[in-house]
Amino acid sequence: MRTSSFGQVVSVAAGALLLAGASMAGTEGSAVAPGLEDGKAGHAGKDVYGIVNLASGTGFFAGVNARGQAAFDQLSLNGEVQVGFFDGERVRDISPPNHVVALFRGLNERGEVALEARVLVPGSEPSEFGAYRWSPARGLVRLPPVNNDIDSGPSAINNRGEIAGAIRTGADNYQATRWTPANRLMPLAGLPGLSYTYTNDINDSNVTVGYGALASNSAVSRAIVWNSAGRPSLLSVGGNSALAYHINNRGEIAGMLDINGPVASAYLWSPGKPVVRAGPRTVVTALNEAGQLVGRIQPTGGDTHAFFFSRASGLIDLHPRSFYSSEAQHVNDSGIVVGTAQRSGEESLAFRWSRKDGAVDLNTRLLDPPAGLVLHNARVISPNGDILADSSAGMVLLRAGGRGTDAPVLGPLQYLPFEANEPARFTLSFRDRNVRETHTATIDWGDGAGPQPVPLRENKGRGLVDVVHTYPEWGVYRVVVRVTDSAGRSTSLESRVWLLDSFPVLRGEGRLADKAAAPSTVFRLAAPLAPNSKAGFSFQLLGKTAFRAEQLDKVRVEGNRVWLEGVGQLDGRPGYRFAIDATAGDGAAQASRMAVRITQADPKGGAQHLVFQTGEDRQAAQAEQAQAGQAGVLRQGSIRILRRAN
């Protein structure tokens, strides 16, 4: 289907924990920009992108259409998870009132958004997830069933306004469903021998694809197609187990085969043609209208490679030379692919692949970027070539051909490591295409004084905030910078300032290793590596199920490997324990690794039973054991041990 969105392969019951991982824009250790002519000069040719700041925090699900509209979920640095909609000029929060967490699930070419959310119910615990539709004309509408005790959620929306999703019908049972443009619930029939069903995608003919689990063995699934009338049929694609993830308007379907076997594979099914496999250990992430699919090749060693596949070309490895890992996230109908690539021990970079230009680091195609702005991951590309990307300054929209908005464009807040009661220099570069406008700036340093005016220097649309600030004590501070032009348009940026004491801190964010069919588990972590440290502790996994750590109980360090244990809340409910096994990358040959386990005490016997696990190659009984299961290599992001400046 033509809806350009990424990360929609999530069923209501998937249970995967997703963190809308905010980009921590403070770049401790990086050089401070010295003046107005800072940053890269930008690309001078026609292949260039204008930059629009969308959100300081980043999320997991995002979409962009040919009208220049975008929708996404994001986690701000204050912990609020919400859905934003960009109408071409500004971003608005479209989350339900009193929401605990809201997640994006689809955007169509009419600007309609499918989302799901949990809300606070007066006098009760947060509700189950509910399905919603939002549109510029009608605003937010709750989709039936309007029942806070029933879990329901969309998975995709087509250009006619039909929404595919699922609702919970029992403790562990879910039923595939659709919602009409008039918001009427239409449950989709199952098939004999299947215990529950889910949808993953819907095309503009209302043909819906998904899967169902065998009643005799829930680990084995069957790919299902529901026609426009809602009648189901099994998709004959072979394999011991099959999932259908994507469908285009030609009726072609992409999915996964033998997901629980040793050699899982992506497949492409086309009407009237034999099914073809993309190759061993391939994982599909997107399918376009030309029958081209992209994803990652996932060998056992963890060094994933981006790939492109079609019937005409076969499997093409897109992996850039000299890089450690890469992944193709999305492809538009012109066959232009976007994604990410990472050198071992270094930050990931946003990439674009095309037949004409090959592999291109998108950081080399930015029009007059602010200093310090680095693109890390290109998530999704629209039919006209606009790209949503994660950066050192949060989520940005890259507009093809150098287009942008009239609002200022901000880079990240930059500073060098410093100590308490020591004046520290902070800089933030900004750009404005309206070169005759003047600007003002304010900064809230996060130490209780509130927003304060700060001086800046500017010349013909290029500006620099260059200030000195002193924090009285160690800690982690949330900083908000706002730059406003003389026409009243403003752009704000949230950042975290890390002021370390004499003890090191483990810091990381990114996406964990996972099974081939599962959505990535995304995390944010900051933990002091000594019990008396004043550095802040935080650990979050956000998404379909939300986990927030409350207390760190145990810390053990062996070289660059760290074990952490503590307690926290799962879906807002206390009584859960977490265990983390993390290895900080050394910046050279060794990559960052991490595993997470969440358990809950059995109320009858007191024993801990596992409720969530990811990133482990084999199960570990206790995180403090020296021979715990080796953590999986991160698919994206990094883990570092930070120390105070000498």
**Mean of the pLDDT values across residues 235-240?**
93
The reported pTM is 0.86
Compute the mean pLDDT over every residue in the chain, rounded to the nearest whole number: 85
Which of 366-370, 420-424, 513-517 is least confident? 513-517
- State yes or no: pLDDT of 12 exceeds 50: no
| Radius of gyration for the alpha carbons in the chain, expressed in angstroms and rounded | 24
Token readout for 436 is: 């005759």
Which residue did the predictor score with more confidence, 218 or 365?
365
Q: Alpha-carbon distance 387 to 365, whole Å?
A: 12
- In tens, the pLDDT along 60-77 reads 789 999 999 999 988 766
Banded model confidence at residue 104, pLDDT cuts 50, 70, 90: very high
- State yes or no: pLDDT of 213 exceeds 60: yes
- Predicted pLDDT of residue 467: 97
Q: List the strands of the sheet with 358-361, edge to edge.
A: 325-331, 337-342, 348-354, 358-361
Residue 326, SS3? Answer: strand
Strand partners, 269: 253
Q: Alpha-carbon distance 123 to 581, whole Å?
A: 38
> Is 81 in contact with 103 (CB distance < 8 Å)?
yes
Token readout for 527 is: 């933990």
- State yes or no: pLDDT of 18 exceeds 50: no
- Predicted pLDDT of residue 630: 61
- Predicted pLDDT of residue 79: 66
- Predicted pLDDT of residue 475: 79
- In tens, the pLDDT along 163-197 reads 999 999 876 789 999 999 999 999 999 999 999 99
> Is 154 in contact with 9 (CB distance < 8 Å)?
no
State what percent of residues in the chain have pLDDT above 90: 61
Banded model confidence at residue 41, pLDDT cuts 50, 70, 90: very low
Which residue did the predictor score with more confidence, 396 or 40?
396
Banded model confidence at residue 324, pLDDT cuts 50, 70, 90: confident
Backbone angles phi, psi at 304, to 5 degrees: -70, 150
Q: Tell me the H-state helices in 473-615.
A: none
Banded model confidence at residue 31, pLDDT cuts 50, 70, 90: very low
Beta strands in 91-193 (DSSP E): 91-93, 99-107, 113-119, 130-135, 139-142, 152-157, 163-168, 174-179, 185-187
**Mean of the pLDDT values across residues 115-136?**
89
Which residue did the predictor score with more confidence, 537 or 399?
399
- SS3 for 233-300 is EECCCCCCCEEEEEECCCCCEEEEECCCCCCCEEEEECCCCCCEEEEECEEEEEECCCCCEEEEECCC
Banded model confidence at residue 39, pLDDT cuts 50, 70, 90: very low
Q: Alpha-carbon distance 482 to 456, whole Å?
A: 12
- Predicted pLDDT of residue 314: 97
Strand partners, 212: 197, 222
Range from 11-15, 304-308, 584-588 that averages highest in pLDDT: 304-308
Q: Alpha-carbon distance 224 to 247, whole Å?
A: 12
Banded model confidence at residue 126, pLDDT cuts 50, 70, 90: confident
- Predicted pLDDT of residue 25: 29
Banded model confidence at residue 86, pLDDT cuts 50, 70, 90: very high
- Predicted pLDDT of residue 345: 65
- SS3 for 186-203 is EECCCCCCEEEEEEEEEC
The C-alpha angle 422, 416, 527, rounded to 5 degrees, equals 90
Banded model confidence at residue 606, pLDDT cuts 50, 70, 90: low
State what percent of residues in the chain have pLDDT above 70: 84
- In tens, the pLDDT along 355-381 reads 999 999 999 999 999 999 999 999 999
**Mean of the pLDDT values across residues 603-607?**
68
Residue 365, SS3? Answer: helix
> Is 586 in contact with 560 (CB distance < 8 Å)?
yes
Which residue did the predictor score with more confidence, 451 or 149?
451
**What string of DSSP letters covers 137-155?**
TTEEEEPSP--TTS-EEEE
Banded model confidence at residue 26, pLDDT cuts 50, 70, 90: very low
Range from 458-467, 469-478, 504-513, 589-598 that averages highest in pLDDT: 458-467
Q: Which helix (H) or strand (E) covers residue 222, if one does?
A: strand 221-226
- CA nearest neighbour of 135 among 71, 88, 73: 71
- Predicted pLDDT of residue 17: 28
